[in-house]
Homo-oligomer: A and B are copies of this chain.
Amino acid sequence: MNRPIRILGIDPGSRITGFGIIDVIGREQIYVASGCIKTIKNDELAGRISVIVEHISEIIETYQPTVAAVEQVFVNVNPASTLMLGQARGAAIAALVLRGLPVYEYTALQVKQAVVGQGKAAKEQVQHMVVQMLKLSGTPQADAADGLAIALTHALRNQGLAAKLGGSMIKAGRFQ
């Protein structure tokens, strides 16, 4: 009997980092938790990075995920924003790897394809599908929903692979 797979999905942002946690049992995805990590406006970089890494460490401590999936971010037209987003994302991944979690990366296109079934889906459609698939009673905050969507993407892509390969769970993604 395998330990159930618990996926921590992370959507990094320069101001708000969304997260979502789901369990995968067979072909079922079960909601565990979700939320946002908000950094303090106008705080210095080290302060903002502190907030991100401390909260992610706390989330890992509390929910004991077995794997992490992180959204790949787009480069912004504003270079300073791109740098800030990169710093937030680097800090989030650092917190994950320091806790020994395997980290997988998915693009926004892969998230839309996995969750909605087509890459041109609007953000609202992704959020709608997250609510449906996890049988949520309300709509989570947008960043939390994005975190859940990334966790779902990891679950669905591996389920697909597992089905194709006759039931054995294969870990796909960009890094292990």
Contact = CB atoms under 8 A, between A and B. Distances in A.
A105 interface: yes
A102 B50 CA distance: 11
A77 B73 CA distance: 18
A154 to B, nearest CB: 13
A76 B75 contact: no
A83 interface: yes
A122 to B, nearest CB: 25
Contact of A91 (B45, B76, B94): B94
Interface of A: 44-47, 49-50, 52-53, 57, 73, 75-76, 79-80, 82-98, 102-103, 105, 174-175
Rank and list the top 6 A-B pairs by shortest CB-CB distance, nearest first: A86-B86, A90-B90, A87-B90, A75-B79, A94-B94, A46-B103
